[in-house]
Structure 1
Amino acid sequence: MGERRRVVVGVSGSLGSLAALHRAAEEARRGGAELLTVLAWTPPGGEHSVRRAPCPPLASVCREAAVERLGTALGEAFPSGLAGVPLKCVAVRGEAGPALVAAANGPDDVLIVGAGGGPWWRRLRPSVTNYCVRHAGCPVLTVPQPQLLRELASFERRNACHLPMETMEMTGSSH
C-alpha cells in the first residue's frame, strides 16, 4: 500500500490559522488521514541578513521559539488534546508559502490554509494563501476568517479615518 493520506495545515497562531487548524483536524479525522501542522519561520531580518552576518545561536533560539509557538497554537486550538488523529508537527525555516507547498508534496495530500486578511500592515506582505493556490501540486482548501475577525476588520475599516468626536458646548454669545 502507498503513502498514508495527509492533511497539511499552515499554523502561525493567528485566529485565521487556528480556524484552518480546526478544519484540517476535521478533514483528517473524517478521511482517516495524518495531520501535518507546519509553522514556517525566518530569522530576524530575513535570510539575507543571516547570510551577511551568520549567528547560529540566534537561529537556534528562533527555531526553539517557533516550536514553542506551534505547541502553544495546538494547545489553544485543542485544550483537551487531539484524539483519534495521527499528528505530526514541524517548524520549518523559510517563507510560509514555499514551506507549505514543499510539505504538501504527496500524491494524496490536501493543503489547508487560512484565507488571510487581518490588519492592513500584514496585508502588505505577499499572500501565503495566493502563493499556495498558485504553486501547490495538490488540492488547496482555504478557510475563511472567523466571523469575529471579519467583524473586527470591518470595524477597523469604518473607523480608520475617523477622529474621535469631541463634544462642544454651544453657548450663546453676547455682543
Structure 2
Amino acid sequence: MVAWPGTAGAAGRVVAGRVVVGVSGSLASLAALRAGAEQARRGGRVLVAVMAWEPPEGEALYLRHPDRAWARHWEAAARARLDRAFDEVFGGTPPGVATERRVVRARPGHALCDLATHPDDLLVLGVGPRRHRTTRTHRYVRAHAPCAVLTVRPPTPPRRLRRTLRNLTPQDFTLASR
C-alpha cells in the first residue's frame, strides 16, 4: 500500500510529503539544495534532489542519430554534477535528512513536476539575479506544479566585493595562483 503525504499509511502512521529540489550546479541551485535540505529536516521529509539532462543537440536530433555511448556519457556527467553539488553544499550527504538523488533524462521543468506530484510535496528552485528571474523552467513549474513552490536566491556578495569582482580580468587570476 502506498501512503501519500498527510494520509495514514499501512501501519497507521502519518507520512509527510517530499521536498523535491532542482539541481543544475549553479549558485542558485546550490542555495536551493541547502534550503531544501533544511525544509526536509524541519518537516521530517525525504529530500529528492533532481538533476535533469538532455542530449546537448536536443532530443529531436538525437532521435535521428542515436548514440547510446554518448547518452551514457552525458548521463554520467549529470550524475557527477549532482554528486559535486552535494559535496560543495554539504561535504557529502546532509546530516539528519533522508535523501534520494535522481538523474532524469527530461527537460528540468517536466522532470520536477513529474516527481512533485502530490499537493503535500514542496518543490524548491533556485533563482538567479532579478533580470533573469523567469527562466523557461520557472515558468513551466509555476504553470504546472501541483504543489507549493519555494524559490531561493543565492547569497548576494557585499556591494564593494561585487564591484571588485566585476573589475577583475583573467590575468588577475593567473597572478593569484602564483
In structure 2, the residue matched to 1:165 is none
CA gap of 1:87–1:47, structure 2 versus 1, over 3 A, is same
Q: 1:96 aligns with which of 87, 100, 108?
A: 108
Deviating beyond 2 angstroms after TM superposition, the runs of 4 or more aligned structure 1 residues are 1-4, 148-153
Aligned partner of residue 92 in structure 1, secondary structure: strand
Aligned partner of residue 147 in structure 1, secondary structure: coil
- For each residue in 1:15-59, what CA deviation from the matched residue of structure 2 results, as whole angstroms up to 9, or x when unmatched? 000000110000000000000000000112010111110111110
Deviation, 1:152, is 4.9
Structure 1 letter corresponding to 2:151:
T
Note if contact 1:40-1:92 (Cα within 8 Å) is conserved in structure 2: yes
Note if contact 2:32-2:125 (Cα within 8 Å) is conserved in structure 1: yes
2:27 matches 1:15: yes
What's the C-alpha RMSD, in Å, of the aligned pairs?
A: 2.5
Equivalence map 1:62-101=2 (5 Å): 62-79=74-91, 81-101=93-113
Structure 1 letter corresponding to 2:83:
G
Range with bigger deviation, 80-89 or 68-77? 80-89
Measure, in 2, the Cα distance between the counterparts of 1:131 and 1:116.
Answer: 16
Structure 2 letter corresponding to 1:67:
R
Note if contact 2:49-2:102 (Cα within 8 Å) is conserved in structure 1: yes
CA gap of 1:60–1:146, structure 2 versus 1, over 3 A, is same
CA gap of 1:69–1:80, structure 2 versus 1, over 3 A, is closer
Aligned partner of residue 81 in structure 1, secondary structure: coil
Measure, in 2, the Cα distance between the counterparts of 1:89 and 1:4.
Answer: 18
> Where does structure 2 lack aligned partners over 5 or more consecutive residues?
1-7, 10-14, 168-178
CA gap of 1:149–1:26, structure 2 versus 1, over 3 A, is farther
In structure 2, the residue matched to 1:134 is 143
Measure, in 1, the Cα distance between the counterparts of 2:94 and 2:154.
Answer: 22
Residue identity over aligned pairs, in percent, reads 43
TM-score (norm 2): 0.76
Q: How many residues align structurally?
A: 152
In structure 1, the residue matched to 2:152 is 143
TM-score (norm 1): 0.78
In structure 2, the residue matched to 1:42 is 54
Note if contact 1:28-1:34 (Cα within 8 Å) is conserved in structure 2: yes
